[in-house]
Amino acid sequence: MRGSSLFWTVEARVRARWPDAFCLSLSKGVHEGQLRARRVAMSDIDKLNVDSVIARLLEVRGSRPGKNVQLTETEIRALALKSREIFLRQPILLELEAPLKICGDIHGQYYDLLRLFEYGSFPPEANYLFLGDYVDRGKQSLETICLLLAYKIKYPENFFLLRGNHECASINRIYGFYDECLSPDLHSMEQIRRIMRPTDVPEQGLLCDLLWSDPDKETTGWGENDRGVSFTFGADVVTKFLHNHDLDLICRAHQVVEDGYEFFAKRQLVTLFSAPNYCGEFDNAGAMMSVDESLTCSFQILKPADKKKFNLGSLNAVWPVTPPRNTKLKDK
């Protein structure tokens, strides 16, 4: 293919619209008339350190899949706006010279995107054309689109992105990318007060997170939950939440802990589990926390009973350990 040109026609509004739609989705429904907010965002473009963004996005190589990358909203907005300038500046009909590596749908599978770069060489060692559908369905659409846009900004003449049908705000609202752009943080207690009852537990959103999220010592910010639903959160999330809501301690359950209680985030969160020898499998203690008039907390420990006194085999058959949420859904 040396010396020949490769042609791709791009939908007429590709260059003008899809990064803009991404930016609008990110800002949680900001409509096109909010020009003042747009001008403020444009001022952040000059502050964008694209090398720093790329370095952080690549730091997770070798980590377990699902580890999130911490980028600020200002950085993400600047990526969208800066790349928009480049898309508008370049022609709508791409005439690209070989050699060239061409990639299809990514759909938020960020770690597989990194594997593609490992196989084909990271930019600028190779020229790339991506054919669209970068977001939705996968769990890390935000990291995916941010790395692609960062490379587009860094290597505008060697890295090319076409628009797919998922580069559209209305589609993003249905298939997952829009939800990734909304913080999993609980912003106010009023959000809990507004939850209508009776209600079933949804598969995502605030109510789901209240019931399914877990602390994780290895996580900074929010991470993927091995249960297959909701998130894990780090000590920094706990500290920020307590500060924002003028609280001293979070008390939660939901996980077996060996001693019946376990502190997290420098004693800012405590997990309580009150069923000793859970399902006859864990040999854990149970605990009860008491809070006195001075708000001092103390714990009473319930040791596991003698296993020989109980027939636990039949119990396990009837009440298995709580499965991950995705397993539960498959059984329906």
- How far CA 283 is from CA of 112, 214, 256, 277, 326, in Å, comes to 39, 21, 10, 4, 26
Task: Transcribe 51-98 into DSSP letters.
Answer: HHHHHHHHTTTTSPTT------HHHHHHHHHHHHHHHHHS-SSEEEES
State the DSSP code for 319: S
Residues facing 134 on adjacent strands:
none
Residues facing 298 on adjacent strands:
290
Give the integer Cα–Cα distance in Å for 169 and 219. 30
Mapping DSSP to helix (H, G, I), strand (E, B) and coil, where does residue 320 land? coil
Indicate which residues carry an active-site annotation.
166
Whether 258 and 299 have beta carbons less than 8 Å apart is answered as no
- Beta-strand relationship, 5-8 and 94-97: antiparallel
Residue position matching structure tokens 């003698």: 306
Give the integer Cα–Cα distance in Å for 134 and 106. 5
Give the integer Cα–Cα distance in Å for 157 and 233. 39
Give the integer Cα–Cα distance in Å for 211 and 201. 9
Whether 296 and 312 have beta carbons less than 8 Å apart is answered as no
Element (DSSP H or E) covering residue 316: helix 312-318
